[in-house]
Amino acid sequence: MDLSIDIDLNPDLKEILNNIGESDNVTENLTVILKEFIFIKLEKINKIILEIQEENLRSANISKELMDLSNYPNEKLLLIQEKLLKTLEKLKKFEKQELTEEDYLEIIENFENESEADDIDLFDIHNEDKAQQYKDMKKLESKSIQIYNRKKIAELTTNRILEALNSSELLNMKDLIFKLKIRDMLDARFIQVKLKELERKGLVESKIKMGKKYWRKTK
Amino acid sequence: MKLDVFLLDCLKHLGFGTYLEEDLLNVLIEVLKNRISNLKILELKNKNQNKKEDISPKIKTTQELFKNTIQKKKEFKEFRDKKKRYIEQSNNLAKIVFFGLKIPEKEIQEKLIDISNSSLANYKYNTYNAFREKLKEKMK
C-alpha cells in the first residue's frame, strides 16, 4: 500500500534539506535529519533529568518530609523521553523498510487525532529558554523550601526566649535580637510584647540603665 | 514531491503540529546549530593536536545554511502574521458592512476571506489538516 502524500514544499526549503542531508532523495535526507534531531533532544532531556535529580538529592537532605520525591523528575519529561525513544525505534524500522501495516494503521490513527500532538508539548524542550525557565523554577522551589526551613528555625516561643535570657546577666533588646537570630523587625516587636507579658507573669525581671531597658530571668 | 505519512507524523509530533514548514524549519535549525557547535569543537581539537585537516570551509557553509534557514523562518512568521492580520481586518470590515447594509454577515465574511486569501496567493504553506483530508480521501 502506497502511503505517501503529495506535498508542495517550498523549493528553498527543499534545497536546504538536500544540502543538509547530502543526498538527492528528500525522504532519505529527512529520515537522517529527524534521527539526528531526536538524538540531540534526548541528550538534552537526559541532562535536564540528571540535573533535577541531583538538585533534588541536595534539597532532600534539607528536609525529607517536605519533598515528595516521587514527583521528581517531572513525569512530563519522562514521557517526552519515552516518546522520543519510541519515535527513534520506528525511524530505524522505517529506514530498513520494516514498518508493518499495523504500525501504519497506528500512525494514521495518531495522525488523524488532533489532540495527540497537544498531549505532550515537545516544544518545552525545543526552546532552550523554556528548559532554562523550567530549571530556574525548580531552583526557586528548592530555595523556597530552604527559606521555609529557616523561618521554622526562627519561630519564637516562650521557651526559646527564656532560654536566651540569663539569670545572672542583663540583656538588652540588641543582644536578644542577636541571640535569637532575628531578621524581621516585626519579630523584634513581637519579642518586646512577649517580654512584657513574661514580666507580668513574674518569669522575667527588667531594669533600666542609662535610659535603656535590660532583662534577665528571675531567680 | 511525495512524502511518507510516517515522516509527516514524526514531524507533527516533534513540532507544534500545525504547519509542516514551521516544524521542518525548527528541526533544521536545531540540527544545524548542533552541527556548527560540533564542528567548532572539532576544529579546536585539531588545532591542539596540530592536525593539518582544515574544517573552516565546512563551518562556513554550515553557518551560511543556518543563516538561510533562520531567514526562511522569519519569512514564514511574517507571512503567518500577515495572513492573521488580513483575516482580522476582513472580519472587522464585514461587521461594519453588516450593520450598515444589513447583508447577511456570513456571506460578506466568506467573500472577504476569499479576497484576503487571493491577495496572499503567492505564499504557500502546508497545514497538517490539509494532509489529513488528503489521507482520508486516499483511505477511501
Tens-place pLDDT, residues B77-93: 887 777 777 777 777 77
Question: Within a 13 Å sphere around the CA of B136, how many CA atoms are in the beta-carbon half?
Answer: 10
Between chains, do A104 and B1 touch, taking CB under 8 Å as contact? no
Quick one: cell of B19? Answer: 504547519
Report residue B32's pLDDT band, with 50, 70 and 90 as the boundaries: very high
Q: How many residues does chain B have?
A: 140
Is the minimum CB–CB distance between B30 and chain A shorter than 8 Å? yes
Is the CB of residue B21 less than 8 Å from the CB of residue B3? no
Is the minimum CB–CB distance between A140 and chain B shorter than 8 Å? no
Instruction: With a cut of 70, list the residues of chain A below it in pLDDT.
Output: 1, 55-74, 113-135, 137-138, 141-142, 144-154
Model pLDDT, residue A118: 45
Model pLDDT, residue B49: 85
Rg (CA), chain B: 23
Model pLDDT, residue A27: 87
The C-alpha cell 538529592 sits at A57
Angle between helices A128-153 and A26-62 (to 10 degrees): 10
CB atoms closer than 10 angstroms to residue A55 = 17
CA A8 to chain centre: 43
Chain B residue numbers with beta carbons less than 8 Å from the beta carbon of A16 are 28, 65, 68-69, 72
Max alpha carbon distance in chain B (Å)?
Answer: 81
Quick one: cell of A11? Answer: 523549493
Model pLDDT, residue B67: 92
Model pLDDT, residue A147: 66
Kindly provide the b/e burial profile for residues A172-194, where b requires at least 16 CB atoms within 10 angstroms of the residue's own CB.
eeebbbeebebeeeeebeebeeb
Model pLDDT, residue B1: 77
How far apart CA A191 and CA A189 sit, in angstroms, is: 5
* Span B8-20, average pLDDT: 82
Quick one: cell of B110? Answer: 466568506
Between chains, do B6 and A99 touch, taking CB under 8 Å as contact? yes
Model pLDDT, residue B109: 65
Chain A residue numbers with beta carbons less than 8 Å from the beta carbon of B16 are 117, 123
* Span B46-51, average pLDDT: 84
Model pLDDT, residue B46: 87
To the nearest whole angstrom, how far is the Cα of A73 from the nearest Cα of chain B? 21
Chain A residue numbers with beta carbons less than 8 Å from the beta carbon of B139 are 108
How far apart CA A129 and CA A127 sit, in angstroms, is: 5
How far apart CA B67 and CA B61 sit, in angstroms, is: 10
Closest Cβ–Cβ partner in A7, A38, A94 for B126: A7
How far apart CA B9 and CA A178 sit, in angstroms, is: 65
Question: Within a 13 Å sphere around the CA of B45, how many CA atoms are in the beta-carbon half?
Answer: 7
The tens digit of pLDDT for each residue in B94-138 reads 666 666 666 666 766 666 666 555 555 445 667 888 888 888 887
To the nearest whole angstrom, how far is the Cα of A92 from the nearest Cα of chain B? 12
Task: Return phi, psi of residue B2, to 5°.
Answer: -110, 140
Is the minimum CB–CB distance between B116 and chain A shorter than 8 Å? no
Closest Cβ–Cβ partner in A34, A112, A116 for B10: A34
Model pLDDT, residue A100: 84
Model pLDDT, residue A123: 46
Model pLDDT, residue A73: 64
Exposed / middle / buried, residue B94 (Cβ in 10 Å: 0-12, 13-18, 19+): buried
Model pLDDT, residue B60: 92
Quick one: cell of B71? Answer: 531567514
How far apart CA A136 and CA A128 sit, in angstroms, is: 12
Between chains, do A118 and B17 touch, taking CB under 8 Å as contact? yes
Model pLDDT, residue A120: 46
Between chains, do A94 and B6 touch, taking CB under 8 Å as contact? yes
Model pLDDT, residue B83: 73
Beta strand pairing call for A4-6 and B2-4:
antiparallel
- Report which residue type is found at A212: K
Model pLDDT, residue A170: 87
Please give the interface size between A and B, counted as residue pairs whose CB atoms are below 8 Å apart: 130
Chain A residue numbers with beta carbons less than 8 Å from the beta carbon of B25 are 13
